[in-house]
Amino acid sequence: MRRSLSLIGGLSSALYPFLALADASVAGHWKADLGDNVRIEMNVSPDGRWSSETAKSDTPIAQMEGTYRQKVKSPTSGDLTFIPMKAHVTSRHGTPKVEHDTYQLSDNGEALNLTSAGDTLEFHKQSR
């Protein structure tokens, strides 16, 4: 089953200044194609910040940004918690929430699988 990640919204950075705990293993510009002309593009920086856009046929459905916390389990896996700080979403997308994912890197760091609530999205690293 495919789904669009809620990739997150609405908490104050003043409440969560400690959440910028990250490393460079998941950093980059990532894209997931969900079918039916729906895609998610996500920028993840090694300083603990991220932004994403979910779009259908080039029309934005959700645009979000915030911080993330990473717990490394191995050089290619771990847990990510995405904390939204800003969000512009359509009512169909729903209210952004903090999201807890497990991640798995593969293909020499060029593929990133994010799993949340039993659903997995496959992202591919993009060149700028």
Provide the CATH number for the domain around residue 108: 2.40.128.360
pLDDT of 89 higher than 90: no
pLDDT of 1 higher than 80: no
Confidence of residue 20 (pLDDT cuts 50, 70, 90): very low
What average pLDDT does the structure give for the chain? Answer: 84
Q: Report residue 44 as tokens.
A: 């993840």
At residue 128, the pLDDT reads: 66
In a domain, 61, yes or no: yes
In a domain, 11, yes or no: no
pLDDT of 7 higher than 70: no
At residue 96, the pLDDT reads: 83
At residue 15, the pLDDT reads: 38
At residue 70, the pLDDT reads: 95
At residue 106, the pLDDT reads: 97
In a domain, 24, yes or no: yes
Count up the domains in the chain and report the number. 1
In a domain, 99, yes or no: yes
In a domain, 112, yes or no: yes
In a domain, 2, yes or no: no
Residue 56 sits in which domain range?
A: 17-126
At residue 24, the pLDDT reads: 85
pLDDT of 98 higher than 90: yes
Give the residues across from 50 on adjacent strands: 44, 66
In a domain, 88, yes or no: yes
In a domain, 49, yes or no: yes
